[in-house]
């Protein structure tokens, strides 16, 4: 059954200004990209006999509909969401006066003003607003899902969930549904990811070239952020760049510390870049590009861990088996271990997150063809002065991993 579109079709959307084409834009079939992703979401809903889902998370809305609007703002404000039934029209509920932003997207059947109920926007009228929102959702469920009262939601506050429960809906966490939909990448998604990585590596090269004593960590990181934005990227999840003794322990963000001669500089890109896809690699440089003997030791250990673990991964290998065979981090470094050895990657960090044995690395599942993953290493001795963070991004091919991140590791 086809649903009548109530918004201006793509063919009538012709902005009267000149734009510069983005990397590989002509090589990507965006209609195929969008259809594939939305169908993956619907199939996961149908598999679990769930009538529909409501998505608030901007990353999930981007995956399902390729619609973007103020992503960071909407990560902490419930002002924008979409309703996706297994059978029925897809509806985007948009922020105030922003309906025009997604009128070119053919898979969205209707765009309506969003109904929010947060105190910031509505003060003492919040309860009135939540009743209005609940009535609209109840009408959509009755209209499109019949007797199926199961509704999946990814992000919602307590009052929203309670209100939906009161009208007889069974609320299910949509996290697993969307994460599983995102696991297997299409050809078009891989093209988008390669374009994002290409921009990422431009920024990494710029940082390496501009790394000199006297620059601050923040100033160095700003070069990378600038590269992402000027090529059409979106945001960076973290600011993981440190130098010298701030590299150990890990997980400190960039600061106004001045980089000194011979300092090691470690960073993790976490870049949500071109077409919304994440480029997630880590590198470690040394100011002056001459590693000390201790820096060489740390770097070589990180390289060994990445290479060993990457060689294990192929379609059909279970996560449990991977953990069992993974590179053994020496005891002096174990207390400073990174949060995982491998994680999925797509529009951002995705399932699975495969941890060290002591941290719960026993979840079920296996690697599959056309998954995209990153392999991680952080090497820094507990109580040591410096640390090295490395990470590579891969596509799971038929016979093993195919490297997607091509900025070379350092020759130490």
Q: What does each C-alpha distance from 256 to 222, 236, 249, 291 come to in angstroms? A: 12, 18, 18, 23
243 in the same domain as 177: no
40 and 93 part of one domain: yes
Asked whether residue 233 is domain-assigned, the answer is yes
Q: What's 163-229 look like in SS3? A: HHHHCCCEEEECHHHHHHHHCCCCHHHHHHHHHHHHHHHHHHHHHHHHCCCCCEHHHHHHHHHHHHH
Domain identity same for 372 and 229: yes
pLDDT of residue 16: 65
Give the residue ranges of the chain where pLDDT is below 50: 5-13
DSSP-derived 3-state class of residue 235:
strand
With respect to residue 411, please indicate whether it lies within any of the assigned structural domains: no
pLDDT digits (tens, 9 = 90+) for 187-226: 999 999 999 999 999 999 999 999 999 999 999 999 999 9
What is the domain-level CATH number for residue 164?
Answer: 3.40.350.10
Residue 8 belongs to some domain of the structure: no
Cβ-based neighbour number of residue 294 at 10 Å: 13
Both 118 and 61 in one domain: the answer is: yes
Q: Do 237 and 308 share a domain, yes or no?
A: yes
Specify the length of the chain in residues: 412
Residues in CB range of 90: below 8 A, 6 or more apart: 38, 65, 82, 83, 84, 107, 108, 109, 110
Question: In this structure, are 266 and 137 located in the same domain?
Answer: no
- What distances in angstroms separate CA 392 from CA 70, 238, 368, one per listed residue? 29, 17, 18
- The CATH number of residue 372's host domain is 3.90.230.10
Domain extent for 104: 21-182
Say if residue 235 is in the same domain as residue 268: yes
C-alpha count within 13 angstroms, C-beta hemisphere, residue 343: 22
Quick one: pLDDT at residue 6? 47
Q: Verify that 166 and 104 share a domain, yes or no.
A: yes
Both 362 and 231 in one domain: the answer is yes
Q: Are residues 128 and 253 in the same domain?
A: no
Strand pairing report for 81-85 and 52-55: antiparallel
What pLDDT is recorded for position 19? 86
Structural contact between residues 366 and 316, judged by C-beta atoms closer than 8 angstroms = yes
CB 251 within 8 A of CB 244: no
């Amino acid at each position: 059954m086809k649903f009548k579109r109530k918004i201006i079709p793509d063919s009538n959307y012709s902005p009267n200004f000149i734009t510069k084409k983005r990397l590989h834009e002509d090589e990507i079939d965006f209609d195929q990209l969008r259809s594939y992703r939305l169908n993956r979401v619907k199939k996961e809903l149908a598999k679990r006999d769930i009538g529909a889902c409501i998505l608030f998370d901007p990353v999930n809305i981007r995956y399902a509909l390729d619609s973007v609007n103020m992503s960071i703002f909407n990560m902490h404000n419930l002002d924008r969401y979409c309703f996706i039934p297994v059978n029925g029209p897809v509806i985007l509920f948009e922020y105030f006066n922003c309906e025009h932003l997604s009128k070119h997207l053919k898979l969205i059947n209707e765009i309506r003003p969003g109904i929010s109920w947060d105190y910031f926007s509505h003060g003492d009228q919040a309860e009135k607003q939540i009743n209005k929102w609940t009535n609209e959702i109840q009408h959509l469920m009755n209209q499109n899902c019949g007797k199926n009262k199961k509704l999946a939601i990814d992000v919602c506050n307590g009052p929203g969930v309670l209100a939906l429960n009161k009208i007889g809906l069974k609320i299910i966490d949509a996290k697993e549904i969307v994460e599983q939909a995102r696991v297997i990448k299409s050809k078009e998604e891989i093209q988008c990811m390669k374009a994002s990585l290409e921009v990422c590596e431009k920024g990494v090269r710029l940082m390496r070239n501009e790394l000199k004593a006297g620059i601050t960590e923040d100033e160095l990181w700003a070069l990378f952020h600038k590269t992402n934005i000027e090529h059409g990227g979106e945001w960076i999840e973290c600011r993981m760049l440190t130098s010298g003794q701030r590299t150990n322990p890990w997980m400190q963000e960039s600061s106004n510390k001045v980089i000194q001669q011979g300092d090691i500089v470690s960073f993790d890109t976490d870049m949500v870049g071109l077409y919304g896809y994440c480029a997630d690699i880590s590198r470690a440089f040394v100011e002056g590009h001459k590693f000390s003997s201790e820096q060489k030791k740390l770097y070589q250990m990180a390289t060994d861990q990445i290479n060993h673990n990457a060689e294990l991964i192929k379609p059909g290998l279970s996560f449990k088996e991977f953990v069992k065979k993974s590179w053994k981090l020496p005891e002096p470094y174990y207390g400073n271990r990174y949060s995982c050895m491998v994680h999925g990657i797509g529009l951002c960090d995705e399932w699975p997150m495969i941890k060290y044995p002591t941290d719960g690395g026993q979840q079920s599942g296996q690697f599959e063809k056309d998954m995209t993953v990153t392999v991680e290493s952080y090497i820094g001795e507990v109580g040591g002065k410096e640390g090295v963070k490395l990470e590579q991004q891969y596509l799971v091919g038929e016979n093993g991993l195919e490297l997607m991140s091509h900025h070379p590791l350092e020759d130490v």
